[in-house]
Amino acid sequence: MRISHKSHVPLSKSMTEKDDKEIITATNSSSTVKTTCHLLSSVAPLKSPIFFLLDGALPLDFLWGSFFENADTGNFSIYVHSEPGFQFDESTTRSHFFYDRQLKNSIQVIWGESSMIEAERLLLDAALEDPANQRFVLLSDSCVPLYNFSYIYSYLMASPRSFRGQAATTLRCHLLYLKDKWRKGSQWVALIRSHAEVIVDDVVILPVFKRLCKRRPPLDASKGKLNIKLQKQHNCIPDEHYVQTLLSMSGLEGELERRTVTYTVWNQSATKMENKGWHPMTFSYANASPRKNQGNKGHQPYIL
């Protein structure tokens, strides 16, 4: 059993939006204890759990299989969150590394809703059960590695910080009393263990996000002029704000790199529809060839 390292202030079900100031005060006054895992033997290898957040199978499993093939199995562990009931076995994946690696308690995830961050927390919680897991990397079904395992592993283990991208946002914080703590960034993060614990142990900020951070409804031609009113609503995507804001509010920004280990490109999509959407550019062989990837590496990413 994993022992929580955070002293919580319970969130009453009767709390309403007007209580946000009290919630934030409670969060900042909670004592977060930074711990070193003394359960580890001095010779025990430290592991980097790799999380895959999927909606079904992993299309690039063959590539990741090659990535893990040359790695020391004592240096990594794999956790997969896929749709409930999906089983990774010889009939659904080409790589034995993914056999039975799916969570048994997965939930149905809807993009742009709080279920996305709940799935991330389930992955973190499962990995925290193993005290050897020290660096936590969250990836999507379209990510590919740009370097071999030993290079990425050494880089992550050598850094005492988490990698959490931070982007500019025009969305004014309407959720929290301490607006200067509002942050935005990519959901694909790499975390040190103590930060993963902060996220899993949170019982204060997550309920606020569930209640108030919501995706704006997509355009619907049948609604006519009502669309104008709907598009004036705040467009809050929980997974772009939750981890970034929670770590900021926990006073941990001094322990963060303001960049991720993944490389993404926005507003350069191949189609007009993608360019106006909420997703980054999809790379093809034409823009992800070996020569192109040498240029991508110049941005200091380790995963594409």
Find out whether 30 and 204 touch, Cβ atoms under 8 Å: yes
Q: Is the pLDDT of residue 8 over 50?
A: no
Which pLDDT belongs to residue 146?
86
Instruction: Give me the mean pLDDT over the 124-133 stretch.
Output: 97
Structure tokens at 43: 């010779």
Return the beta strands (E) in the chain as ranges: 48-53, 76-81, 135-140, 162-163, 190-192, 256-257
**Three-class SS state of 240:** helix
Work out the angle at residue 166's Cα, subtended by the Cα atoms of residues 25 and 211, and round it to the nearest 5 degrees. 45
How far apart are alpha carbons 302 and 151 in whole angstroms?
A: 9
Residue 148 has pLDDT above 80, yes or no: yes
SS3 303: strand
Instruction: Kindly tell me if the per-residue pLDDT of 58 is higher than 90.
Output: yes
Q: What percent of the chain has pLDDT over 90?
A: 47
Mean pLDDT of 84-98: 97
Place of tokens 């020569």: 291
Domain edges within the chain: 44-297
Residue 301 in this model has a pLDDT that exceeds 70: no
By the 8 A CB rule, do 247 and 253 touch?
Answer: yes
Q: What pTM does this model have?
A: 0.78
CA–CA separation, 20 and 23 (whole Å): 5
Q: Which pLDDT score, from 0 to 100, does residue 43 have?
A: 46
The pLDDT tens digits for 170-200 are 555 555 555 788 888 888 899 999 999 999 9
- Which residue has better confidence, 144 or 124? 124
How far the first Cα of the chain sits from its last, in Å, is 35
For tokens 């975390």, the residue is 191
Among all chains, which residue has been given the structure tokens 């919680």? 125
Confidence of residue 111 (pLDDT cuts 50, 70, 90): confident
CA 85 to chain centre: 22
pLDDT at 45: 77
210 near 151, Cβ under 8 Å?
no
Which residue in 293, 298, 264 sits closest to 281, CA to CA? Answer: 264
Give 17: exposed, middle or buried? Use CB within 10 Å, 0-12, 13-18, 19+.
Answer: exposed
Among 96-100, 135-139, 291-295, the range scoring the smallest mean pLDDT is 291-295
Q: Higher confidence at residue 225 or residue 97?
A: 97
* pLDDT reading at 150 higher than 60: yes
User: Does 94 score more than 50 pLDDT?
Assistant: yes
Question: How many residues are listed for the chain in this entry?
Answer: 304
Pairing of strands 190-192, 135-140: antiparallel
Contacts of residue 156, Cβ cutoff 8 Å, sequence gap at least 6: 48, 135, 137, 190, 261
Q: Note the Cα 140 to chain centre separation in Å.
A: 9
